[in-house]
Amino acid sequence: MIGFLARRLAGMVAVLLAISLLTFLIFQVIPGGDPAVRMAGRLATPAQVQDVRRAWGFDRPVYDQYLTTMGKVLDGTVVSYSQQINVEDEIVRSLPPTISLALGAGVIWLFFGVLFGVLSAITAGRLLDRSLTVVALVGISTPAFFLGALLLYYFGYRLELLPLGGYVPLTRDPWGWFTHMLMPWLALSVAFIGVYARVLRSNVLDTMSEDYVRTARAKGLSERRVLVRHVLRNSLIPIVSLWGLDFAAVVGGGAIVIESVFDLHGVGQYAAESIARLDVPPVLVVTLLVACAVVVLGAVVDILYAALDPRIRLAR
Amino acid sequence: MSLLEVANLGVSFATEAGAVRAVDGASFALSRGEVLALVGESGSGKSTIGLTLMGLTRRLGARTSGAATLEGQDLLGAGERELRSLRGNRMAMVFQDPISSLNPVQRVGWQISEQIRAHQPLVGGAQALERAVELMDRAGIANARSRVRAYPHELSGGMRQRVMIAMALSCEPGLLIADEPTTALDVTTQAQILAQLRELRERTEMGILFITHDLGVVADIADRILVMRAGQLVEQGNAEEILHAPQHPYTQSLLAAYAPRPLRAPRTTGAPLLQTQELSVAFRAGRRAQVQALDGVSLTLQEGETLGVVGESGAGKSTLIRCLVRLTDPTSGTIHFRGQDITKARGRQLASVRRELQMVFQDSHASLNPRRRVEWILAGGLRLREVPRAQWRGRAGELLERVGLRVEHLDRFPHELSGGERQRVGIARALSCDPRALVLDEPVSSLDATVRAQVLDLLARLQAEAGLSYLLVSHDLMVVRGVSDRVAVMRNGEVVEVGATEELFSSPQHEYTRTLLASCLKLPGQVRSAV
Amino acid sequence: MTPPPPGMKSPPAAIKPPPAGGSPWRLAWRRLARSRATLAFGGLFLAVVMLCLLAPVYAREIAHTGPNDNHITETVKVGGKTLEVVSPTGVPIGPTWHSRFFLGADANGRDVAVRLLYGGRNSLEVGALATLITMLLAVLIGVLAGYFRGVTDGVLSRLLDVIWAFPPILLGVALGVALAVGGLDLGVVKLHSGSLLLPALIVGVVFVPYVARPLRGQVLSLRRREFIDAARVQGHGHMRILASELLPNLTSTIVVFIPLMLANAILLEAGLSYLGAGVQDPNPSWGTMLAEGIRLTPGAIHLVLVPGLMLVAAVLGVNVFGDGMRDALDARA
Amino acid sequence: MIKRSRSSGWLSPFLAIVLAALLVAVFSACGSSSNSSSSTTNASDAGGVTASSPTLTVLMGTAPDSLDPALGASTQSYEATWLAYTGLVTYTHASGAAGAELIPGLATALPTISADGKTYTFVLRKGLLYSNGQAVKASDFAYAIERAIKLGWGNKQFLTGYIVGAEAFDEGKAHSISGIKANDATGGITVKLTAPFGPFLNVLAFPAAGLVPASTPMKPLPNDPPAGVGPYMITHVVPNQSFDMAGNPHWAAEAIAGIPGGHSNIKVNIVSNNQSAAEQVLNNSADVFDWNDTVPGTLLGQVHAQASSRYAQEPTVSTEFFFLNTQAKPFSSQLAREAVNYALDRRALSRLDGGQLTPACYLLPIGMPGHPNGPCPYGDPSAAPNTTKAKELITQSGMAGTSVDVWSEPHPPHKEYADYYASVLNAIGLKATVKIVAAAQYPATIGNIKNVNPQTGWIAFSQDFPNPVDFYQLLDAESISPTENHNLSQVNDPHIQSELASLSPVPASKLNSVVPRWQALDEYTAQKAYIAVLGYDNVPKFTSERVDFGALVFHPVYGNDWSTLQLK
């Protein structure tokens, strides 16, 4: 276990370094991306731009800038170019909406994904299965922002049932929080529900044809018990890992589009706005955060996997 | 009244290719305390009968006809709830493959106690687990108390099958259906399991429907025998009668396939062709642990002879073979082929050695590329010999004819061939390189008895025609006995005994050789075999 | 033909149907041909593709305008009434269901139906190119990593880790913004900033790990299969084993991944375009049209619905077809 | 905290439940939120806003770039900071031309200016206190200027370019600015300039020149802005989400003439979706719409129908135009430039902007001194374009078939402008391609002559201060630079240069006397077709029902004047 964690940690550091370097380099080569020009302000003279460049160290070699920036990222003092505020404070402030979005949507898509997947599998080939399959595939085929825009239009503008976006902290107003999050949750979950339903359906069907399920039936167990204790117990294991990874991706800004549509001011939107402003430090930090979340949750998922499936040993 | 009565049972399945009749009008009866063996080759429908009696083919879309009763209770027409109260309770089943038949993520004790609690709702969890310990103990599992907490993958194959048996017996059923319960096991383990079943029958008055393809096992345990072929019962009667005086031609041919092959006349052997000296292979297992798969093996295959290598699984036979054909690198020791050290051969040298030293694989299904037609598979060796492309088809056809197939098989895919045909293609592929020696890795172990005999005949014929040398590896003493000039016995990576076939079988020197022989030749005069 | 009952992948070994004649492909094709839903949705996708290919014909013969022609200050006659294409406050006309502005106009007074078809060409082209890029890279990486293992595998797997841990949209948006102006100058190849290859490349690269990882796994397990050993024992070289023994066994997986990736590529392109990092002006694409439409939502919902529904129809067609194809090939993706 | 209330009359049972739930939510919101309470309490004395004054919600589409006055350079920043950081001089709090008039702020009077126009002398008012209670000292002025330079205020070139010693200070060669002398005892402040600069007083009216205590740290304080002097102070900054403007407790005692004390507490919410923002104001859940945002054309109908009494279009002093690169084909030809001016249908462009663009042809907009009154040289901008003439001109110029890249940024309607413009160029015989660049890259991209050298593209310019010099920086040959070019048409016209040299030093007080010369210069520019003007922007002044719409001043420089924001 400790060996596993150590190896994982080493791999993670390597991946994170590569990602940070890549992000940094991408922004270095952007034409017209020189932050000094933007920071020097409107109608700034070349001399002023040069001043900014010197003051912020943009004239130094790339590796030097990278190391300095990474140093600041690590000790938490990195500030954004455009607003010159501490990036990590800003991300901490943007986390509640993003976590609200990810957790709520995660619960919704897990619940409905599992429900639809199991229903679909146990009625395989029948009308219910076919209808659920169609629903799932339509869900998978619908871009979240399209769905979000439609929800916003019909429930927000036309019916005026739900707020038109924005975020209300849970601690301040639980009901407001709920009404503001409802549409983003739905818009984000639908595609995931589709995917999970499909994956689980095929997992369950595969598991049902396993010999040990036949054994369970031969033991005289009730169909329900066979389904829950033998089929689901086994076919849900991969879902756990899938969920962990998807959740990590959403927390880290994978829901950029949804956050933008519903104006949630979460991490993803912060990242998107920072990219639009070509503001490297926030982009760098968010990217690292996401990568971190993905890698850490990946390790957690592996540990969980090993706990759920005794055949798995923690290796690489 | 018999325990189990089956009358005119028919089972058919709807498949993509239309309805398939798996069982056609089977009638038989089984009394308490009796072992009824249901014998047939693969595809004969014997397993379908077992599954149908348990009601397990219903979900597969089976349509049944006829009648089957257990202690007077209708099995085919029973409702699902009714059937459930019978299953595991008054009739139980033991399956062929204990690793896939046990739930991999639940502890074995839990799996046994689950069945007890399903039928005896008043039994508490702790009590059921206590019963599981008892059952496992009685099924011959040492340390049962600690093993209840084991997961299936932590147990050996024999242990797992004992768990399955313990589970099947947990509610003291009247009928036990055992579907090839020993097929996946080593000979020594198989003998133990069979002994266990015999002891059980005596103790509990249980009726056992024993489904197997292996006449050797049947002789060991059956009171009566049913012979099945293509879904139909062709013959039934007392074990003695069937085994000694079979009436139906099919039964006769089946028994003939089991007849001991005459020992070969020892041949004058030629120069050493393939030699290993002190060959050792160690695999890393985990951080520091090492597994010594091969430990100082020195063997010599002489020109024109057949050297048989026997041993149980884990004895190091496969590793030896992989070393010989240079798929695995030895940790130490040397391999010489025609006097040439090939231990570290690479590139051109290796290629020329490989052309002369070919291999036939155990699993004919896995060793043929499923996406390629037979012609393509055979052309590979021709291409290496730089045969012009225009001649490939003709030469491949000739190869097929040499191994007893026809030219039209060239356009088939491996899945369109039977197991025997596939193994012939595998042999033809080896021959396509025009080799001096063949390494045969369990070449007949996945084949039915009748087919097995044919393939062994083919190998003998080819050897005679082309003067090939064989190194034949098998876990089956009978296979080795009939075709080898000399035999080597392996155990735990070491060769424990080498000798001329007749000598080794008549006066084994090593104790392990004796154990092996004993566990497979219990009934004098009766030949047994196992897959 | 009744559908297979639950839990039944195939009948028990004992009653396997007699081997049907022909190659695995013919078998799959026969199964595919039997699934009407699969064919119907495959047909739906083909219909969308055909419509998009016919865009110039529609523009010339029916709508009488091009995808980038402005008609802001013009009027159009609908059922005897003369309506402004774009109102003085900037609200575009909705669907007229007539030859001109059949599906309405956008803010620039351009014919939405014409743009929809031209945009579809771009979306589909990007999707197809991206899929091609993904598959080529993924097969290369997956096969090399799985076959050679060791150091090759280590390096390639870490590379996949990096791409994989990068959130796809973030990577896409960052690359999109980075390349949108100057294009990409690789020395040998120089991609123009308006080139569709850019979004295709971005989308393609993002998805590589999703295909390469399962392929690598499959190669690892195939490599343990005896027929690979058989080829080695016969003395065949690595290249031949890779190309002739392994690859044919990967094709059904690859084929199953193609529609899946095509659908996802079209969706990701739309997402990137929504964030301004996808297909660049003046090329329309369903994603850019949707993005523009969302900005005008309440008064001109047709600008959201039209490209959105078309996108869903195309992607749904691909998805259902891909699903059916997977069943037919009985492969896991 | 924003709650939606329903405007239509029917109530289904479901809606009743939703409403009930909303009510519960309002109660649970602890009363700290915005809009429900105490609408009857009116700030009794005009002198100040207290905690008991009502709170009004102002929406902003884009967050201020910084709320630290030494950094903020966006209109959103100025809108807030000019009420919290008063400088020595400031603008009159009035709409229209009157609002452009400078009045003494913390100085006792407008400064005396030496005859050579290079020395400005002020006297600081006595007894002033900062919002934190500290006393205001004359030397704080010097510190505020130093801080704006040091922290890199976006318009600092107006300071470093003219104040003696400011450049040296900026480059770190001096510890203080030698051109600023302050006497804390007398309150006297003198500022020396390197050359006379007419709009210098306007520069000092920027919030960046507003006084801050010398104890303010020399580092950016965007989340905890420094103390200042003004009717308001900025509190509770949640970056990119919201901030509050509360009454300055020390303001009432000071009551500087001409600066109103304010009536309400202000809560500013950042709502980037302008649809959502417009809806919120329309249904009264927020009070003031961001004038920098556009009310979506699709909602305008509803706004006109339901809220005509609280919606107006206010002209801003800003011009939108396409620059025409005079140093590259095809616009090196004056005929081609004229053709563009003939061919543009400004009515179409106005529709792209939701009807909020006033078609025009002159660089200097309405409201800016020097805006010409004469007819346009190349066709009436409010009438149909003359495409035929334009085609002829292109043929004449020999530029037919030339490829043109049309640059713009993605923000609506700027991209739509470019799409339209490209189709017009194609129609008159050029081969146009649209190039859209992310907003952040846009200035650097089009300002790069060396690598990009853009032929034409969209640009908008709004005044920094009410002096035409500001606009003419865009056509000043001195603004041309290889990588930071601001003269995008790359105009180098001797006539313009000589006129700028003599007009630029004219101080604000004497500006009226040179208006005819500015008009003539601007007509000359239009005649040469150096640029193709689209028109002048109008912006929405749009409030909730409860706001006294008439009393709300739309200031020509800083937009909605929150100190005049009050309930009916």
**What pLDDT shows up at residue B271?**
83
Which residues of C are less than 8 Å from D420 in CB distance?
Answer: 70, 72, 108
- pLDDT interval class at B520 (50, 70, 90): low
Q: Which residues of B468-490 are buried (b: 16+ CB within 10 A; e: fewer)?
A: bbbbbbbbbbbbbbbbbbbbbbb
Which residues of A are less than 8 Å from D483 in CB distance?
Answer: 46, 49
Give me chain B's average pLDDT, please: 85
Residue B81: HSE in the Cβ half-sphere, 13 Å Cα cutoff: 0
At residue C146, the 3 state secondary structure works out as: helix
Range of the domain at A106: 94-269
**What pLDDT shows up at residue A81?**
82
Which residues of B are less than 8 Å from C6 in CB distance?
Answer: 59
Region of residue B29 (phi > 0: left; psi between -120 and 50: alpha; otherwise: beta): beta
**What pLDDT shows up at residue C187?**
56
Question: Which of B149-158, B289-298, D317-326, D332-341 is predicted with the least confidence, judged by mean pLDDT?
Answer: B289-298
Is it the case that residue C85 has pLDDT exceeding 70? Answer: yes
Closest approach of C297 to chain A, Cα-based (Å): 7
- pLDDT interval class at B99 (50, 70, 90): confident
Which residues of B are less than 8 Å from A233 in CB distance?
Answer: 103, 105-106
State how far Cα A288 lies from the chain centre: 13
The enclosing H or E element of D237 equals strand D232-238
Which residues of C are less than 8 Å from D419 in CB distance?
Answer: 68, 70, 108, 110, 281-282
Is it the case that residue D58 has pLDDT exceeding 90? Answer: yes
- pLDDT interval class at C188 (50, 70, 90): low
Give the count of domains, chain A. Answer: 1
As a whole number of angstroms, the distance between CA D438 and CA D458 comes to: 13
- Which tops the pLDDT comparison, C21 or B509? B509
Residue B86: how many CB atoms within 10 A of its CB?
A: 23
Q: Which fold has domain B272-530?
A: Rossmann fold (3.40.50)
Average pLDDT over residues B370-398: 88
**Could you report the per-residue pLDDT of A9-18, keeping only the tens digit for each?**
887 888 888 8
Question: Which of C67-76, D71-80, D472-481 is predicted with the least confidence, judged by mean pLDDT?
Answer: C67-76
Region of residue C109 (phi > 0: left; psi between -120 and 50: alpha; otherwise: beta): left
Structure tokens at A249: 């991706």
In sequence order, the β-bridge partners of residue D461 are: D319
Region of residue D555 (phi > 0: left; psi between -120 and 50: alpha; otherwise: beta): beta
Which residues of C are less than 8 Å from B351 in CB distance?
Answer: 235
As a whole number of angstroms, the distance between CA B438 and CA A269 comes to: 67
Is it the case that residue D36 has pLDDT exceeding 60? Answer: no
**What pLDDT shows up at residue A265?**
85
- Which tops the pLDDT comparison, A33 or C108? C108
**What pLDDT shows up at residue B288?**
61
In order of B305, B436, B454, B465, B483, the CA distances from B461 in angstroms are: 13, 15, 11, 6, 11
**Could you report the per-residue pLDDT of D2-24, keeping only the tens digit for each?**
333 333 333 344 444 444 444 44
Homologous superfamily (CATH) for B1-90+177-258: P-loop containing nucleotide triphosphate hydrolases (3.40.50.300)
Region of residue D538 (phi > 0: left; psi between -120 and 50: alpha; otherwise: beta): beta
Pair type for strands D242-247 and D232-238: antiparallel
**C-beta atoms of A219 and B153 within 8 A:** no
Between chain A and chain D, the number of residue pairs with CB atoms below 8 A apart is 147
**What pLDDT shows up at residue C210?**
87
Catalogue the E-assigned strands of D325-423: 357-359, 403-408
Structure tokens at A143: 């871009």
Is it the case that residue B166 has pLDDT exceeding 50? Answer: yes
Which residues of A are less than 8 Å from B164 in CB distance?
Answer: 215
Q: Which chains touch D (3 or more CB pairs under 8 A)?
A: A, C
Least Cα distance to D85 among D224, D217, D209 occurs for: D209
Least Cα distance to C260 among A175, A105, A137 occurs for: A137
- pLDDT interval class at C192 (50, 70, 90): low
**C-beta atoms of D21 and A161 within 8 A:** no
**Could you report the per-residue pLDDT of D432-462, keeping only the tens digit for each?**
988 888 777 788 888 888 888 899 999 999 8
Is it the case that residue D420 has pLDDT exceeding 70? Answer: yes
Burial environment of residue C209 by CB neighbours within 10 A (0 to 12, 13 to 18, 19 or more) = buried
Most confident of A232-246, C184-198, C216-230, D201-215: D201-215
Average pLDDT over residues D283-308: 86
**Amino acid type, B258:** Y
Residue pair B90/B84 in contact (Cβ under 8 Å)? The answer is no
**What pLDDT shows up at residue C128?**
93
In chain D, what percentage of residues exceed pLDDT 90?
55
Choose the closest CB to A221 out of B86, B95, B118. B118
Domain ranges of chain B: 1-90+177-258, 102-170, 272-530
Choose the closest CB to C312 out of A11, A142, A278. A142
**What pLDDT shows up at residue D512?**
87
**What pLDDT shows up at residue D216?**
93
Average pLDDT over residues A286-294: 83
Side by side, which strands form the sheet with B35-39? B91-94, B175-179, B207-212, B35-39, B224-229, B232-238
Is it the case that residue B400 has pLDDT exceeding 60? Answer: yes
Chain C's closest residue to A155, CA to CA, is C298
**Could you report the per-residue pLDDT of A238-253, keeping only the tens digit for each?**
888 788 878 887 776 6
**What pLDDT shows up at residue D434?**
87
Peptide bond into C88 cis (omega under 30): no
**Could you report the per-residue pLDDT of A207-216, keeping only the tens digit for each?**
888 889 989 9
Is it the case that residue B14 has pLDDT exceeding 60? Answer: yes
In sequence order, the β-bridge partners of residue C83 are: C76
Average pLDDT over residues C199-213: 87
Closest approach of C182 to chain D, Cα-based (Å): 9
Residue A15: HSE in the Cβ half-sphere, 13 Å Cα cutoff: 29
**What pLDDT shows up at residue A183?**
92
**C-beta atoms of D1 and A165 within 8 A:** no
Using a CB–CB cutoff of 8 Å, tell me whether D443 touches chain C.
no
**Could you report the per-residue pLDDT of C279-293, keeping only the tens digit for each?**
776 778 898 888 888
**Amino acid type, B183:** T
- pLDDT interval class at C2 (50, 70, 90): very low
Side by side, which strands form the sheet with B290-302? B290-302, B272-284, B332-337, B340-341
As a whole number of angstroms, the distance between CA D233 and CA D242 comes to: 14
Q: Which residues of A75-95 are buried (b: 16+ CB within 10 A; e: fewer)?
A: eeebbbbbbbbbbbebbebbb
**What pLDDT shows up at residue C194?**
65
Is it the case that residue D463 has pLDDT exceeding 60? Answer: yes
In order of A51, C293, C294, the CA distances from C302 in angstroms are: 50, 8, 10
At residue C90, the 3 state secondary structure works out as: coil
Using a CB–CB cutoff of 8 Å, tell me whether B61 touches chain C.
yes
Give me chain D's average pLDDT, please: 86
Burial environment of residue C9 by CB neighbours within 10 A (0 to 12, 13 to 18, 19 or more) = exposed
Is it the case that residue B211 has pLDDT exceeding 60? Answer: yes
The CATH number given to whatever domain includes residue A161 is: 1.10.3720.10
Q: Which residues of C169-205 are buried (b: 16+ CB within 10 A; e: fewer)?
A: bbbbbbbbbbbbbbbbeeeeeebebbbbbbbbbbbbb
**What pLDDT shows up at residue D147?**
94
Q: Following DSSP, what letter does each residue of chain A receive, concatenated?
A: -HHHHHHHHHHHHHHHHHHHHHHHHHHHS-TT--HHHHHH-TT--HHHHHHHHHHHTTTS-HHHHHHHHHHHHHHT--B-TTT--BHHHHHHHHHHHHHHHHHHHHHHHHHHHHHHHHHHHHTTTSHHHHHHHHHHHHHHHS-HHHHHHHHIIIIIIIS--S--S----TTT-HHHHHHHHHHHHHHHHHHHHHHHHHHHHHHHHHHHTSHHHHHHHHTT--HHHIIIIIIIHHHTHHHHHHHHHHHHHIIIIITHHHHHHTT---HHHHHHHHHHTT-HHHHHHHHHHHHHHHHHHHHHHHHHHHHH-TT-----
The enclosing H or E element of B255 equals helix B249-258
Which residues of B are less than 8 Å from A214 in CB distance?
Answer: 56, 95, 101
* pTM for this predicted structure: 0.81
Is it the case that residue D302 has pLDDT exceeding 50? Answer: yes
Chain D's closest residue to A97, CA to CA, is D241
At residue D185, the 3 state secondary structure works out as: coil
In sequence order, the β-bridge partners of residue B498 are: B488
Least Cα distance to D382 among D404, D359, D410, D363 occurs for: D359
The enclosing H or E element of B280 equals strand B272-284
Is it the case that residue C104 has pLDDT exceeding 90? Answer: no
Side by side, which strands form the sheet with D188-192? D112-113, D119-123, D188-192, D180-183
Is it the case that residue A141 has pLDDT exceeding 70? Answer: yes
In chain C, what percentage of residues exceed pLDDT 70?
84
Question: Which of A301-305, B91-95, B406-410, D94-98 is predicted with the least confidence, judged by mean pLDDT?
Answer: A301-305
Residue A291 domain-assigned (yes or no):
no
Give me chain C's average pLDDT, please: 81
Is it the case that residue C4 has pLDDT exceeding 90? Answer: no
Pair type for strands C184-185 and D102-104: unpaired
Residue C66: HSE in the Cβ half-sphere, 13 Å Cα cutoff: 9
**C-beta atoms of A145 and C274 within 8 A:** yes
**C-beta atoms of B103 and A219 within 8 A:** no
As a whole number of angstroms, the distance between CA D78 and CA D84 comes to: 10
Chain B's closest residue to A229, CA to CA, is B106
Same fold, B1-90+177-258 and B272-530: yes
At residue B518, the 3 state secondary structure works out as: helix
**What pLDDT shows up at residue C185?**
61
As a whole number of angstroms, the distance between CA B320 and CA A120 comes to: 50
Region of residue B402 (phi > 0: left; psi between -120 and 50: alpha; otherwise: beta): alpha
Residue A143 domain-assigned (yes or no):
yes
Average pLDDT over residues C129-138: 94
As a whole number of angstroms, the distance between CA A281 and CA D76 comes to: 23
ipTM of the complex: 0.79
**Could you report the per-residue pLDDT of B304-343, keeping only the tens digit for each?**
889 999 888 778 888 898 888 888 888 889 999 888 888 8
Most confident of A307-311, B206-210, B215-219, B524-528: B206-210
**What pLDDT shows up at residue D457?**
95
